[in-house]
Chains A and B, each alone.
Chain A
Amino acid sequence: MKAKFSAVGAVARGRGRRAGVLAAGSVLALAAVAACGGNGNSGGGSGAANGFKPAAQTGGTLTVWVDSTRLAAAQLYQKQHPEVKMDIVTYDGDANGSNYLQTKVSLFNRTRGGWPDVVFSSQNNETSWAVPAGFTAPLNKGLIPQSTLAGWATGANDPCTVNGTLYCLRNDLSQTVLWYNQKLMKQWAYQVPTTWEQYQALGQKVATEHPGYLVGDAGDTFAPEIYLWAGKCGANQITGPKAVTVNTTSANCTKMATLLDTLIKNKTISLSSVFSSDFDKNNADKILMLPGPAWYGGALFQGTFKTPAGQVAVAPMPQWSGDTTPSVGNVGGGTWLLSAHSADLKAATAFLTWVTTADDYQGKLAPGYPAFAAAAKTWLAGQASSGYYAGDIAAPLQAAANQVWSGWGYGQFSQEAIWAATVSPGLNAGKSLVSLLPAWQSAIVNYAHSDGYQVSTS
């Protein structure tokens, strides 16, 4: 993946012989277009939402793009269906707003060929560009029966729905919960906090009684989705197809930011990414609590940190005291897209349906909480019987699945990328989050404008 980016860059940055060649390298991407005779018509695919005209159904190889985590799903399908000719390609899954898929699709649109049939993306905002680009096929207009679609958790497919038409299927839910180490909690006689006030108080207690231990982490690009989303901060309220309301300095935002500032200052909230070598080395075995998405359990505690079994437990996300409508955040939870250009819609749809609903994968193998309700039941039962977790994780996860605050939308601009570029460097330099909120706001507004959004700020 990285190699492909750099291949373009290497030429652009090249050390060739002539200035002209060097400069021209920057338009290498265009050279490919020239070679293929594109006509300069941007957004080559037909963007018609309702008049979906399938490509000629000539069959052939089913090309599937997945990230490394979802590779197991595609491979299992191939094993169970050896008669299907599959070409499984791994890519970065568009993680952290890399835009790899969008880049490729816009090139495929120009060269009028090469689209994958089914794609997994770790992002929930792909429809914002993929529908106008004519890349995704409508799924609820005859391709997948309504009875199947009814099986998804309530609201799970909202990020995939544009004007009533479904353009992708949700892979997993990533509702946030409070992960904590039950063994340490008992040993130190702490109560699991149910309100943010208690959470902050406990953080301050830990800072003095057990310095070095963490009650949270804010070093990842999805930190705002864990804390500020759960805190109903309206940084990203998509109000229409091309309209967004951005207000990062509201009371809800500053309240949560102040809490984070307090705990960042006393070092009970770390600013290292949970995926960094730094965190793995210095912090992974010192986690008392860690607010985060459903997939933290399998992907982080069990997979990366190798926390011993019988310690990690789940509690509901804390709420502000007095708040009667509990809310949680959401971190990703990927989507599956079906190409409108597929030459074998039948085979592609069969795979898409299997990969999102089958118990064999979603229920038994998937690392995250399946968005398909029946698979989620199997998944939760499997987690319970694995004996890895301390206590019941099903109840808090199921409850949180219905509490994701709906005011945080999925725009075309990557919230994660904006946070990373504007807020993270400031936090690393020791600035307070509260002081960075206005800069965060203006960056969101700028990016939204450049993607053609109408922006309102109140």
Chain B
Amino acid sequence: MSAATTSRAGAPRTARRAPWPGRAGHGFVAAYVLLLIAFGVVPTVYALYFAFTSVDNRFSGLSNFATAARDFRYLPAVGHVALYLVFWLASLVVFVVALALLLHRLSARGVSKALRFLYYIPGALAGAASVMVWLFLLDPTVSPASFLLRALGYDTFGQVVAPGHLPILFTLIAFWTGAGGWIVVMFGALNNIPHDIIEAARIDGAGAWQTARRIQIPLLRKWIVYMTILAFAGGTQLFVEPQLLAQASVGVAGRDYSLNQLSYDFAFQNNDVNTAAAISVELLVIGLVVAALFVARSGFFDAD
């Protein structure tokens, strides 16, 4: 608002009216809001409607949620997703921050540019395509890393995708496809830390480790929280990895693995869209609650 006033006041005599600086921003946001409504808000409301109604469109309270919870695939799916989240979030936070700090230390040298590019490449592949790459990597017969798989004692695809290995495998796939983008984001955030603070730390005798631990990581906190919120929401919706793996292994691994797959199965195999919607609503609520917790506890929106 104040920006608009100044610009109008500041340019009364020029022939061309200076454009209102807020306009471009609103334009960008408007396009986004449109998509958000079409593919975010409307489907969410529609899912909420489904979740609380029965097949004959009558209000059914929580019965769809009860149906989902009673299903024999429900608790195992919750367990699978929870375990996956532990591996995925831990590896993401630790390795992304560590790699970003490492990149930043190297920034003076040309290696950093090359590495940043390298980290980012997998993220440039579309989600499903990058999972397909892994299906080859994990088959000892065709994998370029087959020596590694054989060294670990796995001779067939079936042994590699044994049920106990799945959380680790999905974490590997997700990290490989998703972490590169976050490393670049963290690197950008590190560049935003004023140089004089780092300089002051160095003068006070802080080494690389102390600078990272006492200056850089605390200043990265908001970015880490931001990453965790999005990664958590993404992680609870695990779908592509197990679904493609189920197809590739003709169902040996990954079928009915995650909650999202269960929702999909309810909708399209058991012809029960209402229960499917109930599971989606649960995922939405979990995502929102965890986001709210993180935001509140971390002071995410506090001004500096």
Chain A positions near chain B (C-beta within 8 angstroms): 2-3, 5-10, 12-15, 17-31, 33-34, 39-43, 96-99, 102-103, 106-107, 129, 133, 219-221, 271-273, 276-278, 281, 416-417, 420-421, 424-425, 428-429, 446, 449-451
Pick 23 A–B contacts, CB within 8 A, sort by A.
A5-B243, A5-B247, A8-B264, A9-B243, A19-B229, A20-B284, A23-B233, A26-B280, A26-B283, A28-B43, A34-B43, A43-B271, A97-B251, A98-B247, A129-B271, A220-B250, A277-B142, A416-B251, A425-B252, A425-B253, A428-B156, A450-B71, A450-B72
Please tell me if B238 contacts chain A, counting CB pairs below 8 Å.
yes
Kindly state the separation between the CA atoms of A410 and B19 in the bound complex, as whole angstroms.
69
CB distance from B79 to the nearest CB of A (A): 16
Chain A residues, Cβ within 8 Å of B126:
10
Chain B positions near chain A (C-beta within 8 angstroms): 32, 36, 38-44, 46-47, 49-50, 53, 55-57, 71-73, 126-128, 131-132, 139-142, 156-159, 162-163, 178, 181, 229-230, 233-234, 237-241, 243-244, 247, 249-253, 255-256, 260, 263-264, 267-274, 277, 280, 283-284, 287-288, 291
| Cβ contact within 8 Å between A424 and B252 | yes
Kindly state the separation between the CA atoms of A21 and B37 in the bound complex, as whole angstroms.
9
Kindly state the separation between the CA atoms of A39 and B271 in the bound complex, as whole angstroms.
15
CB distance from B225 to the nearest CB of A (A): 12
Binding site secondary structure of chain B? helix
Kindly state the separation between the CA atoms of A18 and B39 in the bound complex, as whole angstroms.
12
Q: Which of A2, A23, A33, A276 contacts B44 (CB 8 A)?
A: A23
| Cβ contact within 8 Å between A27 and B280 | yes
Kindly state the separation between the CA atoms of A93 and B168 in the bound complex, as whole angstroms.
32
CB distance from B170 to the nearest CB of A (A): 11
The residue on B at minimum CB distance from A23 is B284
| Cβ contact within 8 Å between A24 and B44 | yes
Kindly state the separation between the CA atoms of A391 and B147 in the bound complex, as whole angstroms.
44
| Cβ contact within 8 Å between B46 and A30 | yes
CB distance from A422 to the nearest CB of B (A): 10
| Cβ contact within 8 Å between B287 and A23 | yes
| Cβ contact within 8 Å between A420 and B250 | yes
Kindly state the separation between the CA atoms of A6 and B239 in the bound complex, as whole angstroms.
9
Chain B residues, Cβ within 8 Å of A450:
71-73, 270
The residue on B at minimum CB distance from A95 is B250
Question: Which of A18, A22, A97, A278: most chain B CB closer than 10 A?
Answer: A22
CB distance from B63 to the nearest CB of A (A): 15
Binding site secondary structure of chain A? helix
Question: Which of A25, A27, A129, A220: most chain B CB closer than 10 A?
Answer: A27
Chain B residues, Cβ within 8 Å of A96:
250-251
The residue on A at minimum CB distance from B139 is A277
Kindly state the separation between the CA atoms of A38 and B255 in the bound complex, as whole angstroms.
29
Question: Which of B55, B142, B240, B243: most chain A CB closer than 10 A?
Answer: B240
The residue on B at minimum CB distance from A132 is B271
Kindly state the separation between the CA atoms of A220 and B178 in the bound complex, as whole angstroms.
33
Task: Identify 18 new A-B residue pairs, CB closer than 8 A, beyond the known A6-B243, A421-B252.
Answer: A6-B127, A7-B128, A12-B260, A18-B40, A20-B287, A23-B280, A23-B284, A23-B288, A24-B47, A25-B237, A27-B46, A40-B49, A103-B268, A107-B268, A276-B157, A278-B157, A420-B250, A428-B156
Chain A residues, Cβ within 8 Å of B256:
421
Chain B residues, Cβ within 8 Å of A26:
237, 239, 260, 263, 280, 283-284
The residue on B at minimum CB distance from A219 is B158
Task: Give the 10 A-B CB pairs with smallest separation, nearest first.
Answer: A6-B128, A420-B251, A23-B284, A9-B240, A428-B158, A31-B43, A103-B268, A27-B47, A19-B233, A10-B127
Chain A residues, Cβ within 8 Å of B41:
20, 24
| Cβ contact within 8 Å between B128 and A20 | no
The residue on A at minimum CB distance from B71 is A450
Kindly state the separation between the CA atoms of A273 and B161 in the bound complex, as whole angstroms.
14
Chain A residues, Cβ within 8 Å of B156:
271-272, 276, 278, 428
| Cβ contact within 8 Å between A421 and B271 | no
The residue on B at minimum CB distance from A443 is B72
Kindly state the separation between the CA atoms of A421 and B161 in the bound complex, as whole angstroms.
11
| Cβ contact within 8 Å between B270 and A451 | yes
CB distance from B129 to the nearest CB of A (A): 8
CB distance from B254 to the nearest CB of A (A): 9
